[in-house]
C-alpha cells in the first residue's frame, strides 16, 4: 500500500470522457481523511463518525461547492496489487458542510483560505463494508486506500453530471473486545 506520510490524490482534473445518458467521468478530487492527520487512524470499534474533506483547489475551474454532497460515497478500496475492489454497498456521507480545514499540498498544513467540502461518514458503516467485501484487509495497523466518488453538475442547461474520484489512506486500528 501507499505510504501514509503523504496525501494521496489523483491530482487535478486530468481528463474527461463523456459517456451516454448525460454522464461524464473525470478523475481529480483531493481527499483528506481526518484533516490535520497524515496517518488517519480509524478505530474499527468506534461508534462515531469519520471526518473527510474534499479539498478546494485554486487551479481548478470547479469548486467544492459544485459537488453534490448527497452523491459522495466511499465506493471501495485499492488492493495491494493496485486493483480496485468496489463495495457492494457504497458508504454514503451522512452530513456535509463547507469550511476551510486543509491544503492540497500537505496533510498537516491546516487551512489555506479556500473552502473545502467537509463530510462525515459513519465509522461502523465503513467497517461493515470492509468486513463484507474486503475482510482480509481488516487487520490491526493495516494501511487501506479508500476510493471516494462524487457527482457534480457542470452548470449548463444540458445538466451533464460529472463523476469525480479521489483517494486517501487510513490506518486501521482493530481493538480487541474486552471480556
Tell me the per-residue pLDDT of 46-100, one tens digit each, with 9 for 90 and over: 999 999 999 988 766 668 888 889 999 999 999 777 888 999 999 999 999 999 9
CATH of 16-173, one of 2.60.40, 3.40.190, 1.10.1060, 1.10.10: 2.60.40
pLDDT band at 13, cuts 50/70/90? very low
Residue carrying the nine cell digits 506520510: 5
Give me the pLDDT at residue 2, please: 36
Which phi and psi (to 5°) does residue 5 adopt? Answer: -80, -5
Give me the pLDDT at residue 105, please: 80
Entry pTM: 0.81
More confident residue, 125 or 156: 125
Express each pLDDT in 21-43 by its tens digit: 334 444 578 899 999 999 999 99
pLDDT tops 70 at residue 172: yes
Question: Are 118 and 104 a contacting pair, CB within 8 Å?
Answer: no
Question: Are 135 and 44 a contacting pair, CB within 8 Å?
Answer: no
pLDDT tops 70 at residue 126: yes
Amino acid at each position: 500500500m501507499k505510504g501514509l506520510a503523504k496525501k494521496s490524490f489523483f491530482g487535478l482534473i486530468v481528463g474527461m470522457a463523456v459517456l451516454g445518458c448525460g454522464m461524464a467521468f473525470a478523475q481529480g478530487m483531493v481527499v483528506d481523511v481526518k484533516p490535520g492527520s497524515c496517518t488517519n487512524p480509524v478505530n474499527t470499534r468506534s461508534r462515531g463518525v469519520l471526518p473527510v474533506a474534499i479539498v478546494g483547489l485554486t487551479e481548478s475551474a470547479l469548486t467544492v461547492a459544485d459537488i453534490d454532497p448527497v452523491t459522495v460515497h466511499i465506493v471501495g478500496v485499492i488492493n495491494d496489487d493496485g486493483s480496485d475492489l468496489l463495495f457492494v454497498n457504497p458508504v454514503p456521507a451522512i452530513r456535509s458542510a463547507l469550511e476551510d480545514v486543509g491544503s492540497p499540498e500537505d496533510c498537516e498544513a491546516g487551512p489555506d483560505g479556500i473552502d473545502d467540502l467537509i463530510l462525515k461518514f459513519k465509522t461502523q458503516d465503513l467497517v461493515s463494508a470492509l468486513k463484507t467485501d474486503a475482510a482480509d484487509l481488516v487487520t490491526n495497523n493495516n494501511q487501506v486506500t479508500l476510493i471516494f466518488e462524487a457527482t457534480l453538475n457542470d452548470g449548463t442547461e444540458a445538466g451533464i453530471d460529472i463523476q469525480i474520484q479521489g483517494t486517501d489512506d487510513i490506518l486501521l486500528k482493530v481493538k480487541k473486545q474486552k471480556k
